[in-house]
Amino acid sequence: MGRHDWYFGDRFGRLVDFSDKKQGVMQYVAYMLNRTQSMFEYTGLPESLPQRELELMLQTNGFIVIPIPSKVERVNGNIYAFAEGASLGGERNVYYMPTICNIVSPALNWSDSLKIGEECIVIPNDSLYIGLLPMFSRYASMLAENDVTIRLADINARIINLLSAPDDRTRKSAESYLKDVEDGKLGVIADNVFLEGIKSQPYASSGSTNNITQLIELQQYLKASWYNEIGLNANYNMKRESINSEEAQLNTDALLPLALDMLRMREKGFDLVNRYCGTNIGVELATSWRVRQEEQDMILSEENIETETEEVIENVKTD
């Protein structure tokens, strides 16, 4: 799947086709990218660097490259970010990191090789320059597979008996009957040939309902795990009974590391942009992610106070 296949192309006005798993994956990825567009808030961005394009490039490509206007005449003093058509290479430094960025821009009718840190700035989405698409594609693929299974289980739950036919005419009548059942219509029997030739065997079992329940639980688990990966708390506890507050907070510590790593990479990158390009760009976690970080900081602060109090009490007892 190309990096931008999910948001370009013929997708408007298309009905959901559960058998088209590729389409399902693209839709899941696109909707999740819509959510992660709200992950960061920027201030001081120039008009030539809109936030939507900036975040899409970072999240889907894994990094962006910003040429330093004073060093690159072709950008005409503007601050542009490049992802498509940008590749990292050159002789590796002591930490085996690339030193050259090769850029091809059809819009500017320009291609060049720029020295990283001197003529351009590389801003990664995360510490390993991965981006979010590999993770998103993994969860989206599993969800699309489960969608197909849930649909089949739902349709099969309508069938009480399996039908067998001795000839083509009776078979076609049976197929027509089953098609009506699948479409949610009442099946109609046209003549006695169907009743006399058809044979049926019990098909539905008491476990079919449990199977659908398990598939729904899997769907909820995958979605919650996906949300947790990007720093949003979604409960996927499989207990049928209620859970206490401690159980609800079990995964809190695992929510923010990726989001904070992405924030740190942006802060470092735009600090360099501000230094070399004379801008004043700021970035921070947005809304839900910021609230989650504040809650976690508060919990850690309370735990530290409790620990310090216990140590003081212990010291007093010892004295």
- Mean pLDDT lowest for which of 74-88, 95-109, 225-239, 274-288? 225-239
Q: DSSP assignment, residue 187?
A: P
The Cα 136–Cα 134 span in angstroms is: 6
Name the band, by pLDDT with cuts 50, 70 and 90, for residue 175: confident
Region of residue 83 (phi > 0: left; psi between -120 and 50: alpha; otherwise: beta): alpha
Q: Which residues share a beta bridge with 89?
A: 100
Q: How far apart are CA 269 and CA 136, in angstroms?
A: 24
Q: Which residue has the tokens 């997708």?
A: 11
Q: What is the pLDDT of residues 264-276, one digit of tens each?
A: 999 999 999 999 9
**SS3 (DSSP) at 2:** coil
48-69 tens-digit pLDDT: 999 999 999 999 999 999 999 9
Task: Check if the beta carbon of residue 176 is closer than 8 Å to that of residue 189.
Answer: no
- In the block, tokens 């649909």 appear at 151
- The per-residue pLDDT for range 177-210, each reduced to its tens digit, is 778 877 877 766 656 666 666 666 666 555 566 7
Read off the amino acid at residue 175: E
State both tokens at 287: 């809304």
Alpha carbon distance 299, 275 (integer Å): 36
Task: Give the architecture (CATH level 2) of 39-129+260-283.
Answer: Beta Barrel (2.40)
- The pLDDT of 68-85, averaged and rounded, is 92
CA distance 293 to 259: 10
Q: Pairing between strand 63-67 and 40-43? A: unpaired
Q: What digits encode the pLDDT tens for the residues 98-157?
A: 999 999 999 999 999 999 999 999 999 999 999 999 999 999 999 999 999 998 888 877
**Sequence-separated (6 or more) residues with CB below 8 Å from residue 75:** 67, 69, 108
> Is residue 62 within 8 Å of residue 129, measured between CB atoms?
yes
Provide the greatest CA pair distance for the chain.
Answer: 99
The CA distances from residue 241 to 56, 209, 237, 238, 247, in Å, are 41, 19, 10, 9, 12
Is the pTM of the predicted complex or chain greater than 0.85?
no
Alpha helices in the chain (DSSP H): 21-36, 51-61, 133-156, 168-182, 192-197, 207-229, 245-248, 257-277, 287-318
State the Cα–Cα distance between residues 135 and 143, nearest whole angstrom: 13
Percent over 90 (pLDDT), the chain = 51
Average pLDDT over the chain, rounded to an integer: 81
**With 80 as the cut, is the pLDDT of residue 162 above it?**
no
Tokens for 159, please give them. 């069938």
